[in-house]
Structure 1
């Protein structure tokens, strides 16, 4: 994974842990989603704006690489970076890093923007989101 220019802090909550005291594996995905929405908001793209323009983000594939355990009370940073490419999809690179700098998880996704009427991916996700972003440069646009 490469440098991530955006990250949000999260504190692992006790109710998110499993019977062994580790962060439940599904919660890593929730943290990643939280960071993606925060990243979009940082760029000025609100969920309501997407819906009003008839598009919605969709995740088509996700890979999680669990590197180190997380426990209740751990402070982490969840980073996010969009990787724009030609075609209907784009990549998302994310990392969950403990306060001590230890990488806890790497998350990679393939995503797109769905035309909510046609129920198909828009042809160019960059062009779909750019006009909605107050700070398109934050998203690498």
Structure 2
């Protein structure tokens, strides 16, 4: 899964702040959209979550802003899975200016698989763990 695009979009003028670059709330929103595409590739689809009573909750998120994005810029987020545990996953998103290739921001997230009714963490289903294992990024050379 390393390097696969999980989000593509554009920076709209109304997403920019008083300084003229994309406001931080939109970085978070675009990373959130990338989350759901990444999850779907692992089998954590909307159908799976509805039918199983499961969900995902972010418990830690670290953002680093590297370069500004301006109105009209084309944005691409690429994601890679860093770690899977019994009930949690850790992954990294890189947001790039798709025209220049420059990294605009990174976001590392730890997410927990939840039983929505019990409101507590739950182990991943074997099929999801298997899919995630196939997509784990190699330990060496991973840069956050």
Common topology (TM > 0.5)? yes
C-alpha contact 2:6 2:35 (8 A) present in aligned 1? no
Equivalent-residue separation in structure 2 for 1:129 and 1:31 (angstroms)? 27
Q: Indicate if the aligned counterparts of 1:9 and 1:75 stay in contact, CA closer than 8 A.
A: yes
Q: TM-score, normalised by structure 2?
A: 0.80
TM-score, length basis structure 1: 0.81
Gaps of 5+ in 2: 137-144
Q: What number of residue pairs does the alignment pair up?
A: 134
Provide the secondary structure at the position in 2 that maps to 1:21.
coil
Q: What displacement does 1:7 show? A: 3.3
Label 1:94 to 1:61 Cα distance change in 2 as closer, same or farther (>3 A). same
SS at match of 2:49: helix
In 2: Cα distance, 1:85 partner to 1:137 partner: 7
**Could you tell me how far 1:83 is from its partner in structure 2?**
2.6
Matches within 5 A, 1:1-141: 3-42=2-41, 45-99=44-98, 100-122=100-122, 124-125=123-124, 127=125, 130=128, 136=131, 140=135
CA RMSD in angstroms, aligned pairs only = 2.4
